[in-house]
Structure 1
Amino acid sequence: MGKDLRVMIHKLLDENNISMRELGRRTGIRNATLHELANHKRQNIHFGHINSIADALGITDVRRIITFDDVVSESLNQSGIESEIPVACTRECKRFLSQPQTYLHKDPRKTLR
């Protein structure tokens, strides 16, 4: 088991009801960089980026911006596919796989309105 540092961009965008582009405008961080941070594609996270995000959103507790999750290899389905994912996500994925009807909408167009 290892550790995984993640920047919770999508959660922050939802909480502040802003777009990625707006966060980029407020912080001066390139949109491509924000997308990489949001999708966990960056190997290095710069403290300057974290500080800019905190300043732009009025955040004083860094734990609202980053998380340090345990990472485990889990077999998520019967095909035996394994992947390293955060423990919190593992629980949610298992819940989804055991009760998909609670997560899926009968008419996906209703979620777009």
Structure 2
Amino acid sequence: MATLYIKVQDLLDERGWTQKHLAIMTGLRTAAVSEICNNMRTSINKEHLEKIAEAFGLKDINELMELR
């Protein structure tokens, strides 16, 4: 069975950003960012994904998530 993997922590590591920095940039709760980074969420708000993608300057959803 394929699993959706959210690559937010990978993107943070590549840029040298912290979860707290991303939370400030997006206006999301630090706990929400942590849960997303650790792939602990069973559902993710579309608006959250949009804010995260915008913060990273992503143009392709594949940069943010993948099926594994």
Displacement of 1:62: 1.0
TM-score between both structures, scaled by the size of structure 2: 0.90
Partner of 1:54: 53
Highest RCO, 1 vs 2 (Cα 8 Å, sep ≥ 6): 2
Structure 2 gap segments, 5+ residues each: none
Matched-pair identity in %: 29
Larger radius of gyration: 1
Displacement of 1:51: 0.6
- Residues of 2 paired with 1:5 and 1:48: CA distance? 17
Q: What is the SS of the residue equivalent to 2:32?
A: helix
Structure 1 gap segments, 5+ residues each: 70-113
Structure (1/2) with the larger helix percentage: 2
- In the alignment of these two chains, the number of paired residues is 68
Partner of 2:35: 36
Partner of 2:12: 13
Q: What is the SS of the residue equivalent to 2:20?
A: helix
- Residues of 1 paired with 2:5 and 2:47: CA distance? 15
How well do the aligned residues superpose, as a CA RMSD in angstroms?
A: 1.0
Displacement of 1:20: 0.4
- Residues of 1 paired with 2:65 and 2:28: CA distance? 16
Structure (1/2) with the larger strand percentage: 1
- Residues of 2 paired with 1:11 and 1:49: CA distance? 17
Displacement of 1:12: 0.7
